[in-house]
Amino acid sequence: MGNHTLINVEKAINASVLPVQACPSSAPLYNGTHCVACNSSQYFNLNNNTCYNPQLASNTSALNATNRYINLGSYTLANLILNISSSPYPSHSCPSTAPLFNGSQCIACANGSYYELRTLRCIVSRFATNVTALNATGRALAYGQYTLAYLQAQINSSTVPITICPAATPFYNGTNCTACPNGTYYLIETLACYTPIYSSNVSALNATHRVV
């Protein structure tokens, strides 16, 4: 890696003004103190003259084949492939049955979940309000910034997969898809069904001519 190459090691040996003795082939690396041997699964690290154990890395081919990975910002499958291929150190790919390396182990995401490449974890899709169906009810109550357009913008900006609620239960209340009973309204601000409260009937009161 860098200037630490076999060619430069050989140059340093040849440039020595004192005679040197090569380490035996059974322990060919000199670490500054003694000759060392690395086992068959290790590599000779010329950067610090130690034995290097290859680390695990995500199996990008298997991840691509799942078609269930989520790119977020610069955390994309293309960049993951680039980072692995450009590393000066060798690595072992995770098995195709558990293709994502999360920093400590290879993991598999269950069917219906996704490989999120930013946090290196499994995520599931979340439900979202069916804005079109909710608008069709004519019973959506907007308040301040909490409008149907606001809901749609939130859905469009989601970084996780979205499952739209069915038309029969169009309102996502933060836990599940619901339908508000007839006579009630969908209050967008609180994600709850709103039952109108009573108020005085001004016309009827006026007609009594008995208001003081």
Q: pLDDT by residue (tens digit) across 168-195?
A: 999 999 889 999 999 999 999 999 999 9
Q: Which amino acid is at 81?
A: I
Residue 1 confidence (pLDDT) above 70: no
What distances in angstroms separate CA 141 from CA 38, 177, 184, 190, one per listed residue? Answer: 70, 17, 10, 10
Q: pLDDT by residue (tens digit) across 51-105?
A: 999 999 999 999 999 999 998 888 999 999 999 999 988 999 999 999 999 999 9
Contact 142, 188 (CB under 8 A): yes
DSSP string, 82-127: HHHHH-SS-EEEPPTTS-EE-SSSEE-PPTTEEEETTTTEEEE-EE
CA atoms 115, 116, 118, 120: torsion sign: negative
Q: Residue 72's closest CA among 156, 163, 154, 159? A: 159
**Distance from the first to the final alpha carbon of the chain:** 95
Q: Indicate the length of the chain as a whole number.
A: 212
Percent pLDDT > 70 in the chain is 99
Domain ranges of the chain: 19-53, 56-124, 126-194
Mean pLDDT along residues 121-149: 94
d(CA 150, CA 52): 53
Contact 115, 160 (CB under 8 A): no
Residue 17 confidence (pLDDT) above 70: yes
**Three-class SS of residue 49?**
coil
Taking the complete model, does pTM exceed 0.75, yes or no? Answer: no
DSSP string, 162-206: EEEPPTTS-EE-SSSEE-PPTT-EEETTTTEEEPPPP---HHHHH
